Amino acid sequence: MLNYLYLALHTGNPYIRPIANVTAVAGTTVVVHCRVAGYPITLIRWLKNSLTLPLNIRQTVLSNGTMIIRDVTKRPDEGLYSCRASNNQGIMATKMFHLTVQIPPEIAPFSNVTLTQGERTQLLCTVNRGDTPMNITWYKDGEDIPPGHGIQIHYTEFSSTLGIADASVSHEGSYTCEAQNHAASATFTGYLTVNGKLI
């Protein structure tokens, strides 16, 4: 009777627990576990687009069903993956999940600016990398810039221009552009110097 119970608990067709979809930031490491039940399990393997992993040196598949992807990238890593477990009778179980790779923003550097009072300038903040939608915000000396004060800010989908039409000493200071998307945020700071008018 005891032997019968042991066999009943340790035999059975392969079964894989559901695998949740994964969202990762580009450049990070993704670890996904394929948890398999049933006995005996003779093979556990991972596939993407019908190709058995690993496909490159960044991918590792462990014998316990764990898949590791290092330095994950949107292409070619994003997509649908499947884990398959089979026994010696050829009975197979499959579970799938989708990997989404998000690209964080990257701001193109802009130069410091030196003006004389009364001159005009524009600071251009361009986000040259990163998923949209993108939220771009300007700060002066680490603080929000209130409306008015001779500063105009315009936005596009992935850039923003801060314009000053009539520079004064009050405009002098550090200007920080912050870009934020679902993956992360990035900042870049430039300095505006305003000199007095020459007599």
Region 178-186 average pLDDT = 96
Residues 69 and 153 in one domain: no
Share above pLDDT 90 across residues of the chain, in percent, rounded to a whole number:
83
Task: Report strand pairing: 36-39 vs 12-16.
Answer: antiparallel
Residues 7 and 82 in one domain: yes
Region 135-158 average pLDDT = 94
**The total number of structural domains that make up the chain:** 2
What would the pLDDT profile of 124-140 be if each residue is shown by its tens digit? 999 999 999 999 999 99
Region 162-173 average pLDDT = 95
Distance of alpha carbon 148 from alpha carbon 61, whole angstroms? 58
Residues 9 and 57 in one domain: yes
47: domain CATH number? 2.60.40.10
Tokens read off for 147: 């409306």
Distance of alpha carbon 96 from alpha carbon 16, whole angstroms? 10
Report whether pLDDT(44) > 90. Answer: yes
Tokens read off for 49: 């687009």
Among the candidates 52, 69, 102, a domain finishes at 102
Residues 94 and 128 in one domain: no
Task: Enter the pTM of the model.
Answer: 0.77
Residues 162 and 110 in one domain: yes
Q: DSSP 3-state helix, strand, coil percentages of the chain (rounded to 5)?
A: 10, 50, 40
Distance of alpha carbon 26 from alpha carbon 40, whole angstroms? 37
> Residues near 26 by Cβ (< 8 Å), separated by ≥ 6?
72, 73, 74, 101, 102, 103, 104, 183
pLDDT at position 198 is: 64
Residues 48 and 122 in one domain: no
Tokens read off for 190: 């430039």
- Cα distances (angstroms) measured from residue 151 to each of 139, 168, 173: 12, 11, 13
Q: Which domain holds residue 24?
A: 2-102
Residues 77 and 110 in one domain: no
Residues 79 and 52 in one domain: yes
Average pLDDT over the chain, rounded to an integer: 91
